[in-house]
Amino acid sequence: MGWYALLLFIPTFCSVAIFHSVGPLQVHTWAFVLQMSWQTLCHLGLHYREHYLQGAPCIRLTIALSSLMLQTQKVTSLALDIHKGKVTMAAEWGDGRESLLRALPLCSYLLFFPALLGGPLCSFRRFQDQIQGSCASRPTPPWKAAGQKCLRALALHLLRTAVRSCVAPLARMTDCTGFGCVFVMWRSALLFKLAYYSQWVLDEALLSAAGFGLELGHAPGAEAGCGDLSDADIWTLETTNRIALFTRTWNKSTSRWLRRLVFQRSPAQPLLATFAFSAWWHGLHPGQVFGFLCWAAMVEADYRIHPFLRSLAKSWHTKVLYQALTWVQTQMIIAYITVAVEMRSFSALWLLGASYNSFFPLLYGVSLLWLVARAKEKCV
């Protein structure tokens, strides 16, 4: 990584100093401000390089920023644990050797490279339990579990290659017309999702090889959820007809982190605040801002639309029709959001918004407004 490793080392050492210097009541605020300020500066540096210097993409910088985002999850999660009393830190540093012994576990946790390469998020207590052997032995050897996950990742990669090659070459949004753009959007989103799925499975394989498997048991005193280190539930993601369930299942450890960090702590509009913060955390590209705010509106609409539709579906054939249509709508909306989030310019985002693809989120948006107005009329 060269000098790009400093992008991770600097906030690590600063966070360790904060954990041992700031009281539990203020530690989360200090850690959050430090980590997000540093991450935002790094993202602005990447934006400057992409849009003004117009140089070739720097792979090492991209990897460093991705790792920094995952490190932000660790820092803020640990700060919340300290704030709530789940983890205790010494108030004073002590002599040189004692200070090193106190700092070493934190540095090991924040710089644990298998998690920095892709996650999923592992709590500090969970990390300590694993390192100290508090969790029970695994029924499956680490390398066997890792090998199985690598085969799954290979299958997903081959499927992605087949989708890319067997279907006609992907047209750009500038080349498609009419409802042909819907197919372009769906296929683009499918390729993106398959790339995410294979990466998540590879991340799990790396953690399994490091001894952080998914089939760990519980020993006395071990943290609850000791074995819950998985981001990929592909079956649920591809079969659900609920956008809200898709949202909770997509990148599960990050969803739980956002819920704990933002949603449960927001005094007003927690859903909007959560998705707005997610856009900030991802880097505030135009597509990310638009995509995450659209996602928030779609989840809110999903909470209201499904109870209404279920009340209308009385017979078995109307229930089947309800399941089928809402599944298609969910897939199209998720495809729209996925493609929007991946866009890096206003011009590409405008082409997406002006295409027929916008019919699906607009349908949900209009339905949300109608249901809100209907509910107000009933209250009056």
pLDDT classification of 70: cutoffs 50, 70, 90: very high
User: Looking at 60, 87, 111, which one is the last position of a domain?
Assistant: 111
Q: Is residue 270 predicted with pLDDT exceeding 90?
A: yes
Per-residue tokens: 353: 């918004």
Give the pLDDT confidence of 282-316 residue by residue, as tens digits.
Answer: 988 889 999 999 999 999 999 999 999 988 888 88
Asked, for residue 310, whether it belongs to a domain, the answer is yes
Averaged pLDDT for residues 328-351: 91
* End-to-end CA gap in the chain: 63
Is the pLDDT at 196 greater than 80? The verdict is yes
Within a domain: 338: yes
Q: Judge whether residue 330 has pLDDT over 90.
A: yes
In angstroms, rounded to a whole number, what is the distance separating the alpha carbons of residues 181 and 141?
Answer: 47
Q: Which residues contact 80 (CB under 8 A, 6 or more apart)?
A: 28, 260, 261
Of 86, 111, 136, which residue is a domain's last?
111
Query: Number of folded domains in the chain?
Result: 2
In the chain, the percentage of residues whose pLDDT exceeds 70 is 86
Point out the least confidently predicted range of 208-212, 229-233, 369-373: 229-233
Query: Is residue 221, in this structure, part of any structural domain at all?
Result: no
Residues 6+ apart with CB under 8 A from 185: 173, 335, 336, 339, 352, 355, 357
What is the per-residue pLDDT across 162-188, written as a single tens digit (0 to 9) for each?
888 875 554 566 666 677 788 889 988
**Which regions of 133-235 does DSSP assign to beta strands (E)?**
none
Q: Are 60 and 2 in contact (CB under 8 A)?
A: yes
Q: Tell whether 103 is covered by a domain.
A: yes
Set 47, 157, 218, 282: catalytic member: 282
- Tell me the residue range of the domain where 267 lies: 233-379
Asked if residue 142 has pLDDT above 70, the reply is: yes
Q: How confident is the model at residue 117 (pLDDT cuts 50, 70, 90)?
A: confident
Q: Is residue 333 part of a domain?
A: yes
pLDDT the model gives residue 226: 43
Active-site annotation holder among 20, 43, 241, 251: 251
pLDDT in the model for residue 227: 46
CA 321 vs CA 68, 309, 316, 326: distances in Å = 45, 11, 9, 8
Of the candidates 1, 8, 61, the one whose C-alpha atom is nearest the C-alpha of residue 35 is 8
| In-domain check, residue 134 | no
Given a cut of 70, whether residue 54 has pLDDT beyond it is no
What pLDDT does residue 335 have? 95
**Least confident among 13-17, 41-45, 133-137, 331-335:** 133-137
Give yes or no for residue 73 having a pLDDT over 70: yes
On whether residue 355 sits in a domain, the answer given is yes
Domain annotation covers residue 372? yes
Residue range 214-245, pLDDT digits in tens: 544 343 344 444 445 677 789 999 999 999 99
Which range of 40-54, 135-149, 153-167 scores highest in mean pLDDT? It is 153-167
Give CA–CA dist 195/185, Å, rounded: 15
Asked whether residue 145 carries a pLDDT value surpassing 90, the answer given is: no
Residue 282 a catalytic site member = yes
Q: Which of 53, 83, 111 is the last residue of a domain?
A: 111
Q: What is the pLDDT of residue 296?
A: 95
Where does the pLDDT of residue 88 fall: very low under 50, low under 70, confident under 90, or very high at 90 and above? Answer: confident
User: What pLDDT score was predicted for residue 128?
Assistant: 85
